[in-house]
Structure 1
Amino acid sequence: MNQTTPGHDNSSGGVAEAAARRVRTATAPGGWLDRRRRELAAAVDDFSTAERWVRATAYTLALATAALVLGTAGGILLQAAATVIGAAHLPEHIPGTGDGLAATITRPVHTYLTGRTPAPLTETTAYGTWKTTGLIVGFFSFASRAATWRLAWTAWSAATLAMVWNGTDPNARSVAVGITATALTAASALALRGIQLTLRPLVINRTDVQPHITVHTPEPKPAPEPARLASLPNPAGPFDHRR
């Protein structure tokens, strides 16, 4: 037969009662939980005057959410970029056969880079850098429409034409450069969107201003009579009847 120690029951009941008392105290009006609830409600109304712990918690949650979203989106974008970049990839040793318009552009570039890259750099790395640079410059030129990115796209296109010209057999240079120029023109329609080559008339609004010049001259003051003449008696005139 199991017997329960009275002291043990009293201690358990005391702990439970103390815990319940603490919960009631915390949840009562003016308690710790009630104050935290009021601070959260005040932060919703005006976040600039919120308590420090509310703002710190909000910033931490925002940064964690942003890191999670950016990490997920960044992984998707990197995977998509790797797929796009690898779509036109050529191996380090190009096979002897192959056709298509893309090979007409990429093969001379790879051929031109072969044997011309410095020692630490391989042909494959140089070729991948050329492709990646073109994609990045074209995207930012399309998205930002900034003059700097458009100049970079123009320079990349000119370098591509030069490499195709030098990497193609002399008998087929004109055709290869023409195909490359056509492809770059089509891509430039997106990369250089919104550019205007026409001169806009410059309109200058002229307002005729007639200056009004006012010269303030001091009023002439009568010359003071000399003291010597003022002291002399004034002689009577011929028609003066004063005696």
Structure 2
Amino acid sequence: MAPNDPTPTADNDHPATKTTTKSRFAEARAWWNEAWDEDGVLYRLWEDLRRAPDAGWHGMANWIKAVSAVVVFSFVVLLFNGAVDVLLAAVHHILTAVPNVQVGDNTSTGVWATIDNPVRSYLAAHSVGLPISASTVYTLWQVTGLFSLIAGFITRSNGVRLTWSAWGCAGIAMVWTTTPEASRTVATAIAVLAWTFTSTFALRGLNLRPRVFTTIHTGAPQVTVQPQIHIPAQPDNGPGPDNVRQINR
């Protein structure tokens, strides 16, 4: 007895599915064989790779150059990222290793104390609320001055010289602000003299005299034209010209 369910069984779909799978597999295999033919895509790529060592950088295929450049760039970025993390960690340890700076600390002695102690006190008093400590600010201050002094002496760069000038003016202003009023003038004068003395090294070769460039215009060259008419020599015994007429004859 036949079932009353009019829906066909699902087994009727299996042959079509198997046929589709076989046809797709056959198409993929045909493409693979065609790609490895003499003019196929994979064959050309393999030939480019095989010839690359002998061809060198200028002779290799452009797609190999592009892939190599991307790989090298990614490797450099990874190394740079790791190096930056290590460098920042080292700088953080160096900056936090210095002793804490307190207002009114008189750790320096001699003439240097006249300049250094007011700077330390000023930075400590005005670093409250910053995400870094006053000792870190003072260390950055010292590193900036030392770097601009040495780099200005070696490179003679205008940017480094400008940094040195700004650093010196800011230090002089700190000394003037923090030093007590009774000795403010003398301390500021000592700071100015010390900064100008060290500026002979940081500003080495600086010349404030403006440069004058003189250009001499010679103008267009004079050309003299002398027209000349060259008449070829006539033979002595040859016939004369037929347009010559004697006068009064």
TM-score, normalised with respect to structure 1: 0.49
TM-score, normalised with respect to structure 2: 0.48
